[in-house]
Amino acid sequence: MFWRQQKVNTNPAAIEKLLSRGVEEVFVRENLEKKLRSGKALRVKLGFDPTGPKIHIGRAIILRKLSEFQKLGHTPVFVVGDFTARIGDPSDKLEKRPTLSKKDIENNLQTYKKQIAKVLDINKVEFHYNSYWLSKLTLEKMSELTESFSVQQMLARRNFKDRMERGDEVSLREFLYPLMQGYDSVAVRADIEIGGFDQLFNLKAGRVIQKHYQQPQQDVLTTAMLEGTDGRKMSTSWGNIISVVDEPGDMFGKVMSLRDGLIVKYFLLCTDTPETEIETIKRLLDGGASPRDIKMRLARAIVTLYHGIEAAKNAEEQFVRTFSKAEFPTDAPLQEVRRGTPLIDVVADTAGSKSEFGRLISEGAIFDYKTQTKISDRKAVVDRDLDLRVGKRRFVRIKVR
C-alpha cells in the first residue's frame, strides 16, 4: 500500500540546499523546484541493487539526499533491485558486467535495512522489491516495454559507444537494464528519482518509459560521485570503500588514510558540516594548516554520523594511541620532485631497491608523519610534501616543486 506524509516543509532555504549541496544535475530543475514549493508530498524513488553485502559511504551520499527529502515531508520510495541485480547495471562500466546469482543477492540483502536505518527513518520508508513486478513481465509485455527505446538511443550512451568503437562486446542484456529501471518508476509511480551521477542515463530512461505508459514524467536529481581510499571512484568491486558498518576504529583509520586533496569533498558530501565552515576549512588548508589535524576532525564527524559521539571519541583516542610517533628527524635528507612523480621512483634509493620498496609498502612499513598514516598504494604518486619513515630507521623528506 502506498502512503503519503501530509505535512510538507516548503522553506526556500531548505529547498535550495536540497537542490544544490553535493548535487551534479537536476532535470528539470524549474519543474522540480515548483513541485517542492507546492506543498504536495512527493514520491521520491531511489533504487539500490544489492551487489555487495555492505553499503559504503559513497552510496550513502544519495541515501543522505533521500533523507533530506524525507525531513521535508516527502515519501522515500526505496526500490531494492533484487531482479535487476541479476541483469547487471552497465552504468560507467568499460566492460561487460558479470551477473549475480540469486544466492549472492539473498546474502547481500540480509542487513540492507539495518544499514539504511543508519541514515533514514526506516519506519517512514516504502520498501519494494522489483522482482515483484519484473518477474511477471511476459514476452508480450517485454516487447511492449522495448518499444519505448530505440537502438540508436541506447548506442548514444557513452560507455556503450566507447566499447562499440573499441570492438568490445555489448550484450542485449545490458540494453534491458535501463528499461527495467525505468519500468520500476512506472510501477511505483515516482514523482522524482535520485541517484549517483553515473546513473543519469538510467534515470532519464525512467522519464521516457513513464511517458510511454502515459504517466507524468519524473524529475531527476543526481549527486556527485565519491573517490575511495585509493583515489579511484569508491567501488565495492575495487575494495576501496569505507562501509557504513565498518567498526568505528576502522572507519576512523580509513578516513585518516585519505589523500589530502579529498578532505574538502568528503566534508561536503559525507558530513553535515555547514558549508560556511567547509569554506573556512578550505582556506585553512590553502593557508598551510595541518591536513592531519583537519582530517581528524573529518574522521570524527563521519564516525559520529554512523556510530555516535562516544564511539567517535573512542576511535580517535585509539587512533592517537596507535599511530602517535616521535618527532620527524630534522636532519632527514631532502628530495625535491615534480608533482605527479611516482613515489617508487623517489623512495627506491632510500628503501634500497624498487623490490624492497614493494615489500615495505605491502607490510605497511612506509609511514607519513604529516598525516600519521601508512602509505599502502604501490602506484602512489607524489602530490604533496611528505615526511616519510621508510622501514624502521630510514627517513626522507620530499618537497613538491
Query: What per-residue confidence (pLDDT) applies to 324?
Result: 59
Best CA proximity match to 229, nearest among 187, 193, 260, 258: 258
Q: What pLDDT does 96 receive?
A: 47
Question: Above 50 in pLDDT, residue 94?
Answer: no
- pTM value is 0.77
**pLDDT single digits (tens) 188-235:** 999 999 999 989 999 999 999 999 999 999 999 999 999 998 888 898
Q: Is the peptide bond before 245 cis (omega within 30 degrees of 0)?
A: no
Nearest 5°: CA angle at 122, between 116 and 124? 140
Q: Is the pLDDT assigned to residue 90 strictly greater than 70?
A: no
pLDDT at residue 323 in the model: 65
* Cα dihedral: 200, 206, 212, 214 (round 10): -130
Residue partners of 346: CB distance under 8 A and separation at least 6: 335, 337, 382, 396, 398
Measured CA to CA, the distance from residue 393 to residue 326 in angstroms comes to 12
* Residue 71 pLDDT > 50: yes
Task: Give tens-digit pLDDT for 263-277.
Answer: 999 999 999 999 999
Share of the chain above pLDDT 70, in %: 94
Residues paired with residue 196 on neighbouring β-strands, in sequence order:
223
Least confident range of 65-79, 107-121, 175-189, 360-374: 360-374
CA 386/CA 398 separation, integer angstroms: 5
More confident call, 113 vs 299: 299
Q: Return the pLDDT at 1.
A: 44
Rounded-to-integer distance, Cα 98 and Cα 87, Å: 8
Q: Are 299 and 252 in contact (CB under 8 A)?
A: yes
Q: Which three cell numbers stand for residue 195?
A: 541517484
User: Which of 3-17, 116-130, 226-240 reaches the highest mean pLDDT?
Assistant: 116-130
Arithmetic mean of pLDDT, 28-37: 96
Q: pLDDT tens for residues 311-355?
A: 999 999 888 876 655 567 777 888 899 988 999 998 888 877 888
- pLDDT over 70 (residue 182): yes
* pLDDT score, position 274: 96
| CATH numbers and ranges of domains, the chain | 12-228 (3.40.50.620), 248-323 (1.10.240.10), 334-400 (3.10.290.10)
Task: Order the strands of the 394-400 sheet from edge to edge.
Answer: 334-337, 394-400, 386-390, 366-368, 373-374
Mean pLDDT of 155-166: 83
> CA-to-CA distance for 267 and 298, rounded, in angstroms?
6
pLDDT at 84: 87
